[in-house]
Amino acid sequence: MEKESTVIIVAKADSPQSDIDAIEERIRLEGLKPHRIQGEHSTIVGVIGSCSPDFREQMEMFHGVERVIPIDKPYKLAARGEGRPSTKITVANDTVIGGESFVMMAGPCTIESREQLISTAEAVKRAGATVLRGGAYKPRSSPYSFQGLAETGLNYLEEARIISGLPVITEVMDPGLVETVSRYADILQVGARNCQNFPLLNAVGQTDKPVMLKRGAGCTTEEWIMSAEYIMSAGNARVMMCERGIRTLEDYTRNTLDLSAIPVIKRLTHLPVIFDPSHSCGRWHMVKSLTLAGIAAGADGALVEVHPAPNLALCDGPQSLTFENFSDLMEAAARVAEAVDRPIKPAAIAAA
Ligand code: PEP
Ligand code: MN
C-alpha cells in the first residue's frame, strides 16, 4: 500500500485566479491547508498535512493543475534537510549529545537500592562514563516481576547524581508521571514499548527536558522517526534517537542490533543517535563487541547496563556488565572513539 504524503500542486501557467481558488477550496474540503506561492506566470500550492494517494490522483485530474509533486517524507521537523545543522543537546555543563564527543551512558537497568545505585554510579564514573542510567519505573513483560522502586528510586537517583556529579537518564512510562520524573531526570527515556504511545510522546513533548526515544522492537525507521516528530511537534526539539535492537528471526540474541539504523537515522534526520548494545543482544559477553561496532558506525552515544553483581540483579542480569567488565569496555571504547574522532570526555553536572 502506498504511504500518505504531503504534496505540492503546480498550477498550469497563467491560470486564472478562479482556478487557483478552486484548487485551494478542494484542498480545504479534504481537511488540509493550502499554502499559495504566487510567481509571475505560475502558481504553486503547498498542501499542509498528509494526503491520501486517492487525493493525489484526484488532484492530478483537477482543472487547472499541471502537476502534483509528492514530498515523500511525512516528517518535517526531524528531517535533516538542506543546510540544517545537526542537533546538539546540552544536558548539563559539558555534557553535549551530538557534539564532538561520544557520550557513554551507563548504570543499572533498575534501581534496586541506594547502595546498588551509588556504588554503580561511582564505578561507571571512575571508568569514564558521561551519564548515569537507572530505571525507577520498569516496563516488565510479567506483572509478577519487580516493577521498580518508583519515586523512592528517583530519590536515590537524585542522591547518586549529586555524589557522582553525573547527569541522569531514567524512563517515564505514564503521561501522568512525566511531571514527577522530569523533576529528577536530566534526560527522559521513552522505552521501546512506548515508542508509539502517542499520549506519552505528546506529554514529554511538552516538557523542556531532553528526550531519548527508544525504537520500538517492531518499528520501521519511518514509524520511529514519526514518533520523534510527535515529540517535536508538541514543542520539544531536544530529541535523541536510540536503536535498541529489533525483532528478527534470530533468537540466539534477545533482539538484533540494527547497526544500519545509525547511519540511516543520521542521514534522514538531524537528531543525535544513541544505541543500546545491552538490550540489543541480551548477553553480557557480546556488549563490548557491539559497543565498539556502534561507535565505529558513527553513533553519538551508547547506553550500557552495569550492575555490582549481575547474577543477583532483579532485572536484566544476563546482559549487565560487572564493574570490571565495564572498565575493560571503556578502555577499548576510548581507543575506537579516538580513532573515529569522537573522543569520550567525562563530564559532570558540577565541577567536582
Ligand atoms: C531499559 O532501558 O531498561 C529498557 C527497558 O529498555 P527498552 O525499552 O529498550 O526495552
Ligand atoms: Mn534493562
Residues 190, 132: Cα–Cα separation, whole Å:
16
pLDDT digits (tens, 9 = 90+) for 75-99: 989 999 878 899 999 998 779 999 9
Percent of the chain with pLDDT over 90: 87
Please indicate whether residue 352 or residue 95 has the higher confidence score (pLDDT). 95
pLDDT digits (tens, 9 = 90+) for 180-238: 999 999 999 999 999 999 999 999 999 999 999 999 999 999 999 999 999 999 999 99
pLDDT band, very low/low/confident/very high, at 340 (cuts 50, 70, 90): very high
Write the residue with the smallest CA distance to atom 1 of ligand 1: 109
Decide the pairing of beta strands 95-97 and 103-107: unpaired
Is the CB of residue 315 less than 8 Å from the CB of residue 110?
Answer: yes
Residues 246, 274: Cα–Cα separation, whole Å:
15
Q: Measured from the CB, is residue 109 less than 6 Å from ligand 1? A: yes
User: How many whole angstroms from 171 Cα to the centroid of ligand 1?
Assistant: 8
Does the pLDDT of residue 351 top 70, yes or no? no
Query: Which are the contacts of 257, defined by CB distance < 8 A and separation ≥ 6?
Result: 243, 245, 275, 277, 280, 281, 290, 293, 294
Residues 140, 315: Cα–Cα separation, whole Å:
9
Q: Measured from the CB, is residue 139 less than 6 Å from ligand 1? A: yes
Q: Which residues pair with 132 in a beta bridge?
A: 106, 168
Is the CB of residue 36 less than 8 Å from the CB of residue 19?
Answer: no
Distances (CA, A) of 290 to 34, 275, 280: 47, 9, 9
> For the residues 115-143, what does the mean pLDDT come to?
97
Question: Closest ligand 1 atom to the C-alpha of 245?
Answer: 9
For residue 306, give the DSSP letter: B
Per-residue pLDDT at 348: 65
Ligand 1 pocket test, pick from 189, 306, 307, 321 with the greatest ligand atom count within 8 Å of Cβ, gives 189
pTM across the whole model: 0.84
> For the residues 16-22, what does the mean pLDDT come to?
95
Cell digits of residue 286: 557480546
Closest of 125, 57, 130, 143 to residue 95, by C-alpha: 130
> For the residues 11-28, what does the mean pLDDT come to?
94
Handedness of CA 308, 159, 131, 317 (dihedral sign): positive
Write the residue with the smallest CA distance to atom 3 of ligand 1: 109
Please indicate whether residue 105 or residue 94 has the higher confidence score (pLDDT). 105
Closest of 162, 178, 247 to residue 211, by C-alpha: 178
